[in-house]
Amino acid sequence: MTTTSATNTAYKTLSKAMYNAALLGSTAALLGWEQETYMPNGGREHRANQLAQLAGMTHKMITAAEIGELLSTSEADASLAGEPTSESAVNLREWRRAYDRATKLPQSLVEEITKTQSLSQGEWAKARAESDFSRFQPWLEKILDLTRQKAECYGYPSDGEPYDALLEEYEPGATAAQIERIFTPLRDRLTPFVAEIAASTSKPAGVLHEIQIPKEDQKALSRFVSESLGFDFGRGRIDETTHPFCSTVGIGDTRITTRYRDDNFADALGSTMHETGHAIYEQGLRGECFGMPMGSTVSLGIHESQSRMWENQVGRSIAFWEWFAPHAKRILGVPALDAFTAERMYRDANIVEPSYIRVEADEATYNMHIMLRFELERALLRGDLSVKDLPAAWNRKFKEYLGIDVPDDRRGCLQDVHWAFGLMGYFPTYTLGNLYSAQFFETIKEQIPDLDDQFRRGEFSDLKSWLNQHIHRQGMRYHAGDLCTHLTGKELGADPLMRHLEGKLRPIYGI
Amino acid sequence: MTTTSATNTAYKTLSKAMYNAALLGSTAALLGWEQETYMPNGGREHRANQLAQLAGMTHKMITAAEIGELLSTSEADASLAGEPTSESAVNLREWRRAYDRATKLPQSLVEEITKTQSLSQGEWAKARAESDFSRFQPWLEKILDLTRQKAECYGYPSDGEPYDALLEEYEPGATAAQIERIFTPLRDRLTPFVAEIAASTSKPAGVLHEIQIPKEDQKALSRFVSESLGFDFGRGRIDETTHPFCSTVGIGDTRITTRYRDDNFADALGSTMHETGHAIYEQGLRGECFGMPMGSTVSLGIHESQSRMWENQVGRSIAFWEWFAPHAKRILGVPALDAFTAERMYRDANIVEPSYIRVEADEATYNMHIMLRFELERALLRGDLSVKDLPAAWNRKFKEYLGIDVPDDRRGCLQDVHWAFGLMGYFPTYTLGNLYSAQFFETIKEQIPDLDDQFRRGEFSDLKSWLNQHIHRQGMRYHAGDLCTHLTGKELGADPLMRHLEGKLRPIYGI
């Protein structure tokens, strides 16, 4: 036996405490997943109470004074904290960040937010079903009020704004002003490009999405594609929800959900590939580092880069469709598909056209949905926009950016669950994900030159291994921006995403 | 505002603390349910850790020194504790009982038991699948050792035995010697009666159980019967597991599970009606008393009396089948059923014949399966039987009581999950349930004389209301034996069950 120094003991005690907090957090994740999938309606209020209790307990565990002491003791040891990208230094850096943030929130606020989220989400579902914003309005006002309180507790620089305090939760290091600076050139180039596409007379036929496919066959196709891309069903499952998501509820247990529409199997397919991308990231984390930053994901933007890569860079490529088309025909077994070549499916999978629903939007216009939300939630938080004026503001901006009139709030500002959950500062991470995804993928194609040929053979393991090695197993070693520079040699920019979109869409649309 | 006395404050604080413990317990119940229904295999070890953590936390909450102080303060107030069957007195009596028991177990033992249960259950499932007792043996030895430790921590009277300490958990007030005294006359009368039936030359045809029915149609039938009997699907659900069970995971959220066999729809039907009976009890508890003894079930024996009543007194009556037969034909839609009259279905539902599997056993021989287990687990705990000799002892007794040779351990001592969970002292409650069920039902028929006519019309709400009023909404006001005397005017005995079985089976078997 070697003698363990006091600092090593502190670090081990800290690790165990953070493991316990993460263990309880994973229990809450299961309750959250189950609430969306199988819980009967009668259990909603009790579930909200269960989640509030767990949130309160977890908050208490991670904000205990002992955690602060263990952190200080460990940080003072250069052998633990001295080398910035060593495992222990990364863990300490992120635990410190989380501790400082968590100790700024009173437990009563944490519990109230959690309970309100759960109830508010139920009301949002009813409001959306009835397209009745007035039903949701008081809940959003309450959520907004709680979110502002949260932002003020966290604090932000004097030249910043409340939005920055929230962003820090999802995309550490980013600010609203920075995001505006990245989004602006993207919009400047994307807007005329989308207009060019809209004006083109050479469009994909677009009838692939209109073929009626029974849900059970779509489920089989979802499972097939998810498994082929690399999702491990021994350590996960697929279920059905209103809004698709991915949730890890424990080591070796990552759940994805999707949704099925009889008249549009491409919708389920896209959602499944998207959530599979998230799940491959989660399944690729180091299980032995559960509860540690080294076993955690970098940011929502990086998380989204993984889902977008499998959904778009892979799932909307001609190479993918050359492999996938015969399997889709075989599994779906509808005669209407016989007439479709891989090329025609690929073209139909790449239709670009303004539409109302974000999660159904195409790869290009999707980013406009995001910019609109980013601006509106920023205005709500600043107090420049009141909740009651949200539908009108939404509809006005929608017309401005996408050129179409929103017919009702169900297809407008009530479409997303995010705000009902109090997720503000979250939306921009989706477009950051698109940007990271395109930039990473250019680098990967340089390093694996025959990637397209592999996809044509249904082989996705080289791509998965690359992501496992360079991103997933690195945990939070680098923040998002640094990871991007480290892997691609450049800061995040709009060029790779525009090259990806233009390179693919110009030939399809003959422009 | 009235002034609140110190004792009332103590009682309220105690109630809130017990609510919180029950709330966390309901989270564990959900994890347990989910482990059996949807969890991927890769999540098993993590789930065991989650459950161990919750068990440890709950144990800590209910054994806190503050709870003991609040109990003592409240008990000293005659306005709270003076009237033995008042709500506050009942709550205090049972909280005291639970507190005294819980403080006898060290937290480390509680956590070890919970974790071992979860892992052991996985090993049991594999051992059963392979009919390989040696695989399960070390786990059962570990479970037995932990169970003995538990019994010694609880303690038992000097003229008692370790078994009594465990029984107290499931059937408060009962002892092994008492149960032996109730079971002996039952066996003395049931054994020759079953022999008479076996010797009869006038048997039901028994082909109803051999009709092939697709699982989806059986699911529809299960849902129909469960809803018709009174299970509220707005506050619950049905799923599929290896071993059917009922679990309340929150106020307004009670889950039942069943299992489907292509070649025996009566198996799923019986399981569903059985679990529906448990669920109607749970759904009938007073939600506003969640976490309080006044909102809890009396004992496992009484719980089982509810499941058995719906399964046997209702579900195996001619009146039930006269209503149900046309619905079964309609929902299952198989031509093979056309030839079956209600009378013939009723006769086939009442076949009595020795068989290997307890959960498939008929209403009469079932009790012999229980007596066998009662004797064996009592011997294991006393040390009169070692785990390695269990299969041989099982098979020997099985031959003696049921007259047939056990072909393998899968159909012998590996068939039940209970011991893998450490549930010893639990089995006798099943036959206690049969006894209570028959005795309660005789009283109910006296008070609702047209009950059979109601069943013939598919009306079950009067029976449900009677049970709601006299049993479910009474919580733990009376212990099982007192409840029986209070409701039926007599102590529990073997006569009503024997009258029920003989009254029905003699005409069917022409004896």
DSSP string covering B11-22: HHHHHHHHHHHH
Judgement on whether residues B144 and B208 belong to the same structural domain of the protein: no
What residues of A are in contact with residue B27 (Cβ under 8 Å)?
A: 27, 31, 50, 53-54
What residues of B are in contact with residue A114 (Cβ under 8 Å)?
A: none
Helix (H, G, I), strand (E, B) or coil at B256: strand
User: Among B161, B55, B382, B49, which residue's Cα sits nearest to residue A30?
Assistant: B49
Amino acid at the residue A62: I
> What pLDDT is stored for residue B3 in this prediction?
41
Q: How many CA atoms lie within 13 A of B159 on its CB side?
A: 3
Out of A169, A202, A219, a domain closes at A169
Q: Do A42 and B249 touch (CB under 8 A)?
A: no
A447 in a structural domain: yes
Place of tokens 């709870």: B67
Q: What percent of chain A has a predicted confidence (pLDDT) above 90?
A: 84
In the predicted model, is pLDDT for residue A2 greater than 50?
no
In the predicted model, is pLDDT for residue A271 greater than 60?
yes
A1 in a structural domain: no
Which residues of B sit within 8 Å Cβ distance of A? 20, 23-24, 26-27, 30-31, 34, 38-47, 49-50, 53-54, 57, 232-237, 239, 249-253
pLDDT-based confidence at A1, cuts 50/70/90?
Answer: very low
Cα–Cα distances in angstroms (integers) from residue A279 to residues A246, A275, A282, B84, in the given order:
6, 6, 5, 57
DSSP A75: H
Average pLDDT rounded to a whole number, residues B255-266: 90
Judgement on whether residues B398 and B258 belong to the same structural domain of the protein: yes
Out of A169, A194, A227, a domain closes at A169
Pairing of strands A253-258, A246-250: antiparallel
Q: Which among B26, B40, B236 is the nearest to A50, CB-wise?
A: B26
Judgement on whether residues B198 and B140 belong to the same structural domain of the protein: no
d(CA A274, CA A360): 12
pLDDT digits (tens, 9 = 90+) for B479-505: 999 999 999 999 999 999 999 999 999
A279 in a structural domain: yes
Q: Do A34 and B34 touch (CB under 8 A)?
A: yes
pLDDT digits (tens, 9 = 90+) for B406-421: 999 999 999 999 999 8
d(CA B351, CA B267): 13
Average pLDDT rounded to a whole number, residues A20-29: 98
Average pLDDT rounded to a whole number, residues A141-148: 96
Exposed/middle/buried for residue A418 (C-beta within 10 Å: 0-12, 13-18, 19+) = middle
B167 in a structural domain: no
Place of tokens 């076996």: B198
pLDDT digits (tens, 9 = 90+) for A404-415: 899 999 999 999
Listed in sequence order, the DSSP H helices in A409-460 are 428-447, 451-456
What residues of B are in contact with residue A47 (Cβ under 8 Å)?
A: 250, 253
d(CA B150, CA A72): 42
Q: What percent of chain A has a predicted confidence (pLDDT) above 70?
A: 99
pLDDT-based confidence at B4, cuts 50/70/90?
Answer: low
d(CA A395, CA A409): 9
Residue A111 contacts residue A51 (beta carbons within 8 Å): no
Judgement on whether residues A86 and A221 belong to the same structural domain of the protein: no
Residue A57 CB coordination number (10 Å): 20
Amino acid at the residue B393: A
- Look up A75 and say whether it is catalytic: no
Nearest chain A residue to B290 by CA: give it.
A46
Q: Which residue has the higher pLDDT, A295 or A338?
A: A295
Judgement on whether residues B182 and B128 belong to the same structural domain of the protein: no
User: Among A248, A479, A213, A232, which residue's Cα sits nearest to residue A332?
Assistant: A213
What residues of B are in contact with residue A253 (Cβ under 8 Å)?
A: 39-40, 42-43, 46-47
Judgement on whether residues B433 and B494 belong to the same structural domain of the protein: yes
Range of the domain at B201: 176-509
d(CA B231, CA B460): 11
B362 in a structural domain: yes
Token duo for residue B277? 């009976």
Out of B162, B187, B215, a domain closes at B162
In the predicted model, is pLDDT for residue B249 greater than 50?
yes
Average pLDDT rounded to a whole number, residues B150-175: 93
d(CA B184, CA A148): 70
Average pLDDT rounded to a whole number, residues A197-221: 89
Average pLDDT rounded to a whole number, residues A156-165: 93
Token duo for residue A389? 């004026």
Rounded to 5 degrees, what angle do the CA atoms A397, A400, A406 make? 65
Residue B306 contacts residue B281 (beta carbons within 8 Å): yes
B171 in a structural domain: no
Token duo for residue B104? 């006898």
Q: Do A43 and B232 touch (CB under 8 A)?
A: no
Looking at the 3D structure of chain B, how many domains does it have? 2
Average pLDDT rounded to a whole number, residues B266-280: 95
Length of chain B: 511
In total, the C-beta contacts within 8 angstroms joining chain A to chain B are 100
Which residues of A sit within 8 Å Cβ distance of B? 20, 23-24, 26-27, 30-31, 34, 38-47, 49-50, 53-54, 57, 232-237, 239, 249-253
DSSP B489: S
Average pLDDT rounded to a whole number, residues B365-390: 95
Taking phi over 0 as left and psi of -120 to 50 as alpha, with beta for the rest, B351 belongs to: beta
Q: Do B251 and A27 touch (CB under 8 A)?
A: no
Q: What percent of chain B has a predicted confidence (pLDDT) above 70?
A: 99
Q: Do A237 and B40 touch (CB under 8 A)?
A: yes
In chain B, DSSP finds a helix count (H) and a strand count (E) of 21, 3
Judgement on whether residues B333 and B374 belong to the same structural domain of the protein: yes
Q: Residue B216 is part of a domain; what is its CATH number?
A: 1.10.1370.30
In the predicted model, is pLDDT for residue B10 greater than 50?
yes
Token duo for residue A40? 């009967």
What is the full DSSP assignment across A16-67?
HHHHHHHHHHHHHHHHHHHHHHT--GGGHHHHHHHHHHHHHHHHHHHT-HHH
In the predicted model, is pLDDT for residue A322 greater than 60?
yes
Residue B415 CB coordination number (10 Å): 19
Output the average pLDDT for chain B.
Answer: 94
A96 in a structural domain: yes
Rounded to 5 degrees, what angle do the CA atoms B378, B383, B387 make? 85
Residue A174 contacts residue A427 (beta carbons within 8 Å): no
B169 in a structural domain: no
Q: Which among B42, B54, B234 is the nearest to A40, CB-wise?
A: B234
> What pLDDT is stored for residue B1 in this prediction?
35
> What pLDDT is stored for residue B400 in this prediction?
84
Average pLDDT rounded to a whole number, residues B148-167: 94
> What pLDDT is stored for residue B2 in this prediction?
39
Residues 6+ apart with CB under 8 A from B315: B269, B270, B273, B349
Average pLDDT rounded to a whole number, residues B285-289: 97
Q: pTM to 2 decimals?
A: 0.89
pLDDT digits (tens, 9 = 90+) for B59-74: 999 999 999 999 999 9
Judgement on whether residues B377 and B267 belong to the same structural domain of the protein: yes
Q: Which of B94, B111, B275, B311 is catalytic?
A: B275
pLDDT digits (tens, 9 = 90+) for B297-314: 999 999 999 999 999 999
Judgement on whether residues A100 and A248 belong to the same structural domain of the protein: no
Residue A251 CB coordination number (10 Å): 24
pLDDT-based confidence at A506, cuts 50/70/90?
Answer: very high
Judgement on whether residues A463 and A353 belong to the same structural domain of the protein: yes
Smallest CA–CA distance, residue B241 to chain A, in Å, is 15
Q: Which residue has the higher pLDDT, B237 or B198?
A: B237
Best to test chain B binding among A50, A226, A290 (most B CBs inside 10 Å): A50
pLDDT digits (tens, 9 = 90+) for B421-462: 899 999 999 999 999 999 999 999 999 999 999 999 999 999
